[in-house]
Structure 1
Amino acid sequence: MKKNEASSVTYRVLPSGRVQVRYRLPNGEQVTHGTYDDRSTAERHGREIQVDLAKGVKWDDRKARTPFSVFMRDIYMPFRETKVAASTYLNNRTHLSKLIDYFGQIPLGRIDVEAVDTWWASLPESVARRNTYMFLTRAMRYAVRWQYIQTNPCQVEDAGKNVAKPRPKFTVGDIYAVLDHADDRTRTAALVAFSGHLRIGEVCGLNRADYDAAKGHLRIERQAANAGPVGLTDTKTGNRRTIKLLAPGQAALDEWIAAHPMLPTAPLFVGTKGGRINRVHLRDGWDAAKLAAGFPEFHFHDLKRVGLTAVARTGANVRDVMFRGGHRSYTAALSYLDASEDRDDELAALTNARLGRR
């Protein structure tokens, strides 16, 4: 073993004749950098290491040799599970399986910007591609934070742009057309979702005590989990809110409670076996009704959009919409508001009326 003068880089000739390069970190730990076919190649890498050591920027690349699949499955995902809701974690596992199919056993340090750009370009434009990329970006951010890699290779331009196809626009009349074909439970739950702007999990998570019939107020502070047994978690955004139900939901809920007396702690909507209703049961009821009514594209979640659009058209500002919808950003709130030709005609008429008074 020969020591490079004035450095902590050493070279070791192996029985095979290849040359191993080693160096010491500032804490005294010895690290093997690599093994090369000849002395000149080894010394060239040794000089590069020495320069980095002198600058104090030498990177210990052992962790960067961790295969992508090992890092994701054994290190990142157990951490991720402690940070997100069960439904989000389930979606993350779906993203992970797609990424492992592509990156597999490639060491983290070899996944550079070009590799990520190539993966991105190999997939068709879709919401799924965007969401998988966002998941990868977050994971690589932690790989940097935990010093597995030096920089995040996820630098695709405009990767976060909205590529979802515009949703069909539905009206309050369309809602009632669907509900003409719905059972009582589905009808009531749908009118509550429309009138209180609830997600399907939030409807399933309601208890009797969440509704104040005297004031028409509904408290939304939990949702039924999207995965596994019917359990309760915080709402998707973590927000808790109490809002005044719109009249259709209030009337439907008053009628429902009168016909189904229950304790304050009891679920507001139950399944056929008496337990809390789950998302599948509620979605099945809605889907059967929408198909019968001839609205196959009308998702249960569109009820929230129709309700918030109706509220916004009263002149409510974005903060009002954010509060009623339980949103955490202006962007999220605006994404639920629809424009239409009939509304444009109405606005033009109102503006013309004001102009005519001058």
Structure 2
Amino acid sequence: MSKKRRFGRVRKLPSGRFQARYQDPDGVDRPAPSTFATKTDADRWLNKIEADILSGEWRNPDAGRIALGGYLLTWIDHRPNLRPRTVQLYRWLYKRYLANEFSGVMIADITPSRVRAWRAGLLAEGTSATMAAKAYRLLHAVLNTALDDELIRRNPCRIRGAGETHTPERPVATVVQVLDLAGRVPARFRALILLAAFTGLRYGELAALRRADLSQGLDTVTVRATLTTLNDGSVIFGPPKSTAGRRTVTVPSAIREDIRLHLRDYVADTADALIFTGAKGAVLRRSGFQTQSRWTQSVTEAGLPGFHFHDLRHTGNTLAAGTGASLADLMARMGHGSARAALIYQHAIQQRDTMIADALSLSIDVERDRARNGHDQPSDPS
């Protein structure tokens, strides 16, 4: 007579195979997902289930029986503080790259091999490495949440480096080239170019600036909002990109007169008046700026063919680094880093930020003086 099991039950079926059943921690009677060729195999499976329950590793096999498509869309809806453009990007990535393969697939059935095959298929079809990486990062993030929800035991996205993107280094303009570019665009955009390069503000942050965001002496600018253009062409004003994005940046004294003249000539005398607008006074969309500023022609004439507006921010960060600023100083000025880091360095950063602006201002004054005196060769840094 066979010994009765302490955990679970095994019975022989008319087919000759063996079925295993057990009671889960919630009292639900559960069969093994398949039958076994021998009683020993069934016993071993029950022993593993018992060990998982005792160690806390057991997972409800029904938990992962949720289709990825619905779970992913709910995941997007429940993400806190996602920017509208990010929501649109996630939904587009899902529809374009994930839905066909995973929409109706149960989360528990997504295996590492299936993820590898999906990614290989994207690349074989000609999907760019950048888009494949973005889609993979989205899938990885969603399945990480499924892991936290105890729907799966391990994230099946395990391809080393699959979520990484490698973008080429963007060009950096010299102070002379920035000043030249600012002189080539229509006058209403001169201050925009100078602020972008010498304060490092993003385009959306600049387009959302209002008169009240500038201090009375024009020595600082405070970022409180950002302008976002959605896929349907509509624009919205929202909070900065991150907590660190809400910041006050010192304006180099050498460009404050340019800003004063811009305020006089192009900005209404009310606290909430936008500082930068289109030729007809409307919100300055990026596309409108590209056209009205004659951007492609202007950067080419300035010796910067292919230069993007965002490269002005990269330029400003590089120039600021050249003043001897620390990493913490640069992170604060550019709006990068955690809120905790920003709070820790807040007092020291404001002092250092003024020093950065003063050093940038000196470089601007030197190049302007050289231009007035007819020199066209770089100044001797010594």
Q: Which bracket does the TM-score occupy, shorter chain normalised?
A: 0.7 to 0.9
1:238 corresponds in structure 2 to: 243
2:225 corresponds in structure 1 to: 222
* Residues 176-214 of structure 1, C-alpha deviations (whole Å, 9 max, x = no match): 444444223333222221121111110111111011241
2:317 corresponds in structure 1 to: 308
SS at match of 1:262: coil
| 8 Å contact kept, 1:68–1:103 | yes
Counterpart Cα distance in 1 of 2:241 and 2:327? 20
Percent identity, please: 24
* Residue 167 (structure 1) shift: 1.6
2:86 corresponds in structure 1 to: 88
Over aligned residues, Cα RMSD in angstroms? 3.5
User: Which letter does structure 2 place at the counterpart of 1:291?
Assistant: Q
Q: Which runs of 5+ in 1 are unaligned?
A: 331-345, 351-358
1:152 corresponds in structure 2 to: 155
SS at match of 1:224: strand
2:194 corresponds in structure 1 to: 191
How many residue pairs match? The answer is 325
1:209 corresponds in structure 2 to: 212
2:60 corresponds in structure 1 to: 60
Q: Which moved more, 1:97-106 or 1:209-218?
A: 97-106
1:297 corresponds in structure 2 to: 306
Alignment partner for residue 270 of structure 1, among 271, 274, 277?
A: 277
| 8 Å contact kept, 1:195–1:247 | no
| 8 Å contact kept, 1:216–1:250 | yes
* Residues 68-93 of structure 1, C-alpha deviations (whole Å, 9 max, x = no match): 223212x322222x341112222222
Map residues 24-63 of structure 1 onto 2, 5 A cutoff.
24-31=23-30, 33-34=32-33, 36=34, 40=37, 44=41, 48-49=45-46, 51-56=48-53, 57-63=57-63
User: Which letter does structure 2 place at the counterpart of 1:87?
Assistant: R
Counterpart Cα distance in 2 of 1:58 and 1:46? 17
1:76 corresponds in structure 2 to: 75
Q: Which moved more, 1:45-54 or 1:105-114?
A: 45-54
| Gap change, CA 1:314 and 1:30, over 3 Å in 2 | same
Q: Which runs of 4+ in 1 moved over 6 A?
A: 10-14, 16-21
User: Which letter does structure 2 place at the counterpart of 1:276?
Assistant: V
| 8 Å contact kept, 2:36–2:42 | no
Map residues 321-332 of structure 1 onto 2, 5 A cutoff.
321-328=330-337
* Residue 257 (structure 1) shift: 0.9
| Gap change, CA 1:174 and 1:30, over 3 Å in 2 | farther
Counterpart Cα distance in 1 of 2:101 and 2:168? 26
1:256 corresponds in structure 2 to: 262
* Residue 298 (structure 1) shift: 1.0
Counterpart Cα distance in 2 of 1:185 and 1:13? 85
| Gap change, CA 1:212 and 1:54, over 3 Å in 2 | closer
* Residue 5 (structure 1) shift: 4.8
1:164 corresponds in structure 2 to: 167
* Residue 233 (structure 1) shift: 1.9
* Residue 223 (structure 1) shift: 0.7
* Residue 171 (structure 1) shift: 2.5
| 8 Å contact kept, 2:210–2:272 | yes
* Residue 148 (structure 1) shift: 1.6
* Residue 263 (structure 1) shift: 0.6
Counterpart Cα distance in 1 of 2:101 and 2:188? 45
Q: Which moved more, 1:135-144 or 1:245-254?
A: 245-254
| 8 Å contact kept, 2:200–2:312 | yes
* Residue 130 (structure 1) shift: 2.6
| Gap change, CA 1:58 and 1:311, over 3 Å in 2 | closer
User: Which letter does structure 1 place at the counterpart of 2:48?
Assistant: V
* Residues 205-237 of structure 1, C-alpha deviations (whole Å, 9 max, x = no match): 111101124152111122112426432222113
| 8 Å contact kept, 2:22–2:29 | yes
Counterpart Cα distance in 2 of 1:281 and 1:63? 50
Counterpart Cα distance in 2 of 1:129 and 1:244? 39
